[in-house]
Amino acid sequence: MDWILAAHVAEGAARAAGGIARRAFYLPRQVSYKQGDEPVTETDREIERFVTQLLQASFPETRIIGEEGANIGSGSTPIWWIDPIDGTFFFARGVPQFSISIGCADADGKMMVGVVYDPMFDECFCAVRGHGATCNGEPIHVSAVTQLRTALVSNNSNLVPEWTTMLPLCRTIARTGSAAISLCYVANGRFDAYWQHNLSAWDVAAGTLIAEEAGATVTTYDGSPLKVSNPANMLVTNGHLHQAVSQHLTQLT
């Protein structure tokens, strides 16, 4: 597998999908629900069909798995993880903060390519393992913040114990509605840390690689290695803050 080529194809797919999302954002949206209260729109499904078809045509020997049901291929082959709109709730409510996330892992499950595109701000974050991370072609790096009390951290859940524990310890906590965007904001130094539980592989496949290639530390809450295919919980920091955040989150579990 030519991972550089795969990244270029994924970026092209993400940017084109972003055009679909941008146009739909300014039109009336019909929202339905899956798994109880999880929103989904026709734009989610349209983008997943588009990206799946493009990747299948470009890399027919790979597997493709998407949030909205795509499951093509099998066996020990590279796997593409697609989140057509990461942040559907915000998208459905007309909040311009969501992304298209496309990641590819090798046959052993190691993430090799990650692309996250924010269509409303035209920011495309990309990474190929061993080649660093970029935003719109420019190299990005994590922040140099060393003190939790001055840190801007992020969490998108509603777990009150985590917020009440962490908020007094840091400068403030931000929400983005999109795990992929939060991961990329750690990668480019806007956020100093991000943690989340109950995520799926398509939420984090691309963003974790982008963060790692920008110098971030990526683990579970307790510091164990993160398994992208089954990310029960995830902690991503600039490295300097990792031990401190891990210690506080682990006390809550």
The CATH number of the domain holding residue 57 is: 3.30.540.10
Contact 128, 214 (CB under 8 A): no
Q: Give yes or no: residues 160 and 125 share one domain.
A: no
145, 192 Cβ separation under 8 angstroms: yes
- Structure token pair of residue 7: 């990244």
Q: Are residues 135 and 166 in the same domain?
A: no
- Choose between 251 and 184: higher pLDDT: 184
The Cβ-side half-sphere exposure at 104, using a 13 Å CA radius, reads 30
Token pair, residue 22, equals 């941008």
Distances (CA, A) of 171 to 119, 150, 165, 245: 29, 5, 13, 13
Do 23 and 114 fall into the same domain?
A: yes
Average pLDDT over residues 105-134: 97
Domain membership of residue 213 as a residue range: 148-250
18 and 135 assigned to the same domain = yes
Do 108 and 186 have their domain in common? no
Supply the angle between the helices 179-187 and 201-213 in degrees, to the nearest 10.
0
Do 43 and 135 reside in the same domain of the chain? Answer: yes
Residues 158 and 213 in one domain: yes
Number of independent structural domains in the chain? 2
**pLDDT confidence tier of residue 19, bands split at 50, 70 and 90:** very high
| pLDDT at residue number 225 | 95
pLDDT at residue 247 in the model: 95
DSSP E strand boundaries for the chain: 31-34, 38-41, 63-66, 71-72, 79-86, 99-105, 111-118, 123-128, 133-135, 138-139, 152-154, 172-174, 193-197, 217-219, 233-237
**Same domain as 111, residue 59:** yes
Residues 119 and 156 in one domain: no
| Same domain assignment for residues 124 and 236 | no
Residue-wise pLDDT tens digits, 196-232: 998 999 999 999 999 999 999 999 999 999 999 988 8
Mean pLDDT of the region 50-73 = 96
The overall average pLDDT reported for the chain is 96
* Centroid of chain to Cα 104: 12
pTM for the whole thing? 0.96
Give the end of a domain, one of 139, 170, 201. Answer: 139
Q: Are residues 106 and 183 in the same domain?
A: no
**88, 119, 139 - which closes a domain:** 139
Of 139, 167, 187, the last residue of a domain is 139
Residues 8 and 125 in one domain: yes
Query: In this structure, what CATH number is given to the domain that contains residue 189?
Result: 3.40.190.80
